[in-house]
Chains A and B, each alone.
Chain A
Amino acid sequence: MALKIKDLRIYYQTLRGDVKAVDGISFQVKDGEIMGLAGESGCGKSTLSNALILLKPPMKYISGEVFLNDKKLPIDNYEAMRANRFRGVSIIPQYAMNALNPIRKLKQIISDLLEHHGESFVKMRDMIEERLKLVELDEKVLDLYPIELSGGMNQRMVMVISTLLNPSLLLADEITSALDVSSQKAVSKMIVEFRDRKIVRSVIFVTHDISILYQVADSIMIMYTGKQVERAPTETIVKNPLHPYTKLLISSLPEVGIKYSQAPLKGIPGRPPELLNPPEGCRFKDRCPVASEKCDEEPPLVEIEPGHQVACWKVGAIDD
């Protein structure tokens, strides 16, 4: 197993109390697997991915263990984690377009970052140029400043930099969110390419856009208000979702061949509860069409079939 997470809890410390952004998450990512992590904004998906690489206040580690390649990852120890960053776990951040210091040349930034992991820019230059070709950047960009590149080029540059040390786990945090549809596809393909060429071993692809995950992910985990609600291979999540939330989420995606002027897209009524004081039991019960008294108890994550886990008392109870 490339990544194994057990009962991870990450809260945000605020003056009004702890915001339970990641509340007891357990899952595994296999070698060579691209796992999609989807959910509404504010459900804790970015918190989860950031906690795996850079856990610092206001994020607070509460409990849980993370294993990377069967070795414990000291995510709660800022200093011990330093050696694991970049080489073990790496990230393409949400803000990738602004992630590079505008007044340093790109080769300077790269060489400074590599130096502290015992690598040298000069020795790796050939490899860097090869990777640049992979993301359709010219090698000349190395002599430019980030301000001289477009936002998209900067993002692709960050993709190259983040994967230079062939990390075991790559966290791709909302990398397609600010792009047009054709660029979205190109960037997603590059992530798959990285995996296929064994540049990265496994990927967590964080997004709110399930239609992109359908193209790149091997499996999808759906999160809702800090909890995982369903995890299954991509095909299963899209074709045969079991959790009511997943069903509603999938049914709110437009499909080809349907005229929505006649049957408007439904969406999910209501809003997610506050994470400061989440309700007891199932957190989706207030918006759930099939909720009952049973849902006041917290549903366990149950493995319905191999690789398909759901946290719902009513699994299979509703049909559209």
Chain B
Amino acid sequence: MGKYLKRKIIIYLLTFFFAVTIDWVIPRFMPGDPIRTLLSRAAMRTEAMDLLYNYYNKVFSLDLPLWKQYVNFWVSLFKGDLGTSVYLFPSPVFEVIKRAVPYDILLLVPAILLSWIAGNKFGAFAARKKRLDNTILPIWYVITATPYMWLGILLAWVFGVVLGIFPISGAYSFSMSPSLSWEFIWDYLKHWILPFGSLFIVQLGGWAIGMRNMIIYELESEYSRYMEAMGAPAKLIRKYAFRNAVLPQITGLALQLGVIVAGALATEVVFSYPGIGYLLLQGILNGDYFLIQGCFLFIILGVLIANFFIDIIYVIVDPRVRRGMSGETA
């Protein structure tokens, strides 16, 4: 176990290092100049502009050579300093992200987990009945192939514009301010349901198809056949098959996490939901290096931590992985 964990942690640290480096490089290769964007908001004379430009360049340390910027970036990262946002000047990026993160967690964690659980259950259920399977499978194919953004717009149009049941923008009404009152929670949930729904539905189809295929495969396997020959009830055989079929789904979850986060970006943009995705878009539009870096850093951390958890869960549920750890293989 210790050896396995050590190797995993080294791999994760390396991944983190490269991901963060790329995260640092990409904004700097973007066209546009964040300071100019910031200053262009204020109409002023050219001399004053140049003066301010040089001043701000120093403030953001953008006048230093690139390698020095890179080293400074790592140093301040370890101090927990992500820089100052240009777009929301002078708020520190850390503060900006801290405000957005709760909305992301409350949106993403339920959407990912519930769609995974429900997709597995539905998939396993449909695999039992041929007729049900034949009718539902095409629907799932359509659902899983739907782009997040398109489904989001569709839901917003149907429930927000045509039916007028749910609000289509923001995380809460403009008249409210975040507080722990029933009124606010109710308002929050009304804003939450459509972005959640669009994330949930698209992922559900994928998980259900995966589970259905795995269950059919497991029910045809030799151990299922042997149990059948020994007179075991169908329920027990299905229970065994489910447990085996869910293992690749756990791997699938780890692989899908990155995609889901990207999907969340599109959804947040559609619903103007004040999560990381929405911030990121604003950061990109304003050429805000530090905000972009901060958002990506959060996404990188989130995906890596979730993957690490899944790795550990896998060790617990699959004895084959546990066994591989003590040997040289795996």
Q: Does A associate with B in a complex?
A: yes
- Is A91 a contact partner of B318 (Cβ separation < 8 A)? no
Is B222 in contact with A98, judged by CB distance below 8 angstroms? yes
The distance from the CB of A77 to the nearest CB of chain B, in whole angstroms, is 13
B319 in the interface (beta carbon within 8 A): yes
Looking at chain B's contact residues, the main secondary structure is helix
Considering only CB atoms and an 8 Å cut-off, how many residues of chain A contact the other chain?
Answer: 32
Are A85 and B229 in contact, with the CB atoms below 8 A?
yes
Instruction: Collect the chain B residues with CB atoms within 8 Å of residue A91's CB.
Output: 229
Does the CB pair B320–A85 fall under 8 Å? Answer: no
Taking a contact as CB atoms under 8 Å apart, the answer to whether B232 and A100 are in contact is no
- Closest beta carbon of chain A to B326's beta carbon, Å: 11
Asked if A90 contacts B230 (CB within 8 A), the reply is: yes
Segment at the B interface, from A58-66, A101-109, A197-205: A101-109
For A162, the closest partner residue in chain B by CB is B230
Q: Does A112 contact B (CB under 8 A)?
A: yes
Query: Are B320 and A103 in contact, with the CB atoms below 8 A?
Result: yes
Q: Is the pair A103, B319 in contact by a Cβ cutoff of 8 Å?
A: yes
Contact A98-B223, Cβ < 8 Å, known A54-B228, A147-B319, A147-B323: yes
Chain B min CB distance to A49 (Å): 10
Q: Cβ of A93 and Cβ of B319 under 8 Å apart? A: no
- Name the segment of B207-215, B236-244, B266-274 touching the other chain: B236-244
A245 at interface by CB-CB < 8 Å: no
Task: Answer whether A103 and B231 are a contact pair too, CB < 8 Å, given A93-B222, A98-B222.
Answer: no
Chain B residues with CB under 8 A of A102? 223, 244, 319-320
CB nearest neighbor in A for B241: A101
B225 within 8 A of A: yes
B31 is an interface residue with CB less than 8 A from chain A? no
Please state if B240 and A158 are interface contacts (CB–CB under 8 Å).
no
- Chain A residues whose CB sits within 8 angstroms of the CB of B2 once the complex forms: none
Q: A147-B319, A147-B323, A148-B323 are in contact. Are A99 and B231 (CB under 8 A)?
A: no
Cβ 8 A contact of A116, one of B232, B247, B318: B232
Is there an interface contact between A93 and B229, defined as CB atoms closer than 8 Å?
yes
Contact of B229 among A54, A145, A147 (CB under 8 A): A54
Once the chains bind, are A103 and B230 in contact (CB under 8 Å)?
A: no
| A117: interface (CB < 8 Å) | yes
A54 to chain B, nearest CB (A): 4
Residue among A85, A95, A112, A148 facing the most chain B CB atoms (10 A cut-off)? A112
Q: Mark B93-131, 1 if CB is under 8 A from A, else 0.
A: 000000000000000000000000000000000000000
Residue of A nearest to B317 (CB): A103
Tell me, yes or no, whether B226 is within 8 Å of chain A by CB: yes
Q: Which residues of A sit under 8 angstroms from B226, Cβ to Cβ?
A: 93, 95-96, 99-100, 158
Which residues from chain B sit less than 8 Å from chain A, CB to CB?
221-223, 225-233, 236, 240, 243-244, 247, 318-320, 323
Having A85-B229, A95-B222, one finds 16 other A-B pairs with CB under 8 Å, namely A83-B231, A85-B230, A91-B229, A95-B225, A99-B222, A99-B223, A100-B223, A101-B227, A101-B244, A102-B244, A102-B320, A103-B243, A103-B318, A103-B319, A116-B232, A147-B320
Could you jot down 21 A-B contacts, CB within 8 Å?
A53-B229, A54-B228, A82-B233, A85-B230, A85-B231, A86-B230, A87-B231, A90-B230, A93-B226, A95-B226, A96-B226, A98-B223, A99-B223, A101-B244, A102-B319, A103-B319, A112-B232, A113-B232, A116-B233, A145-B319, A158-B226
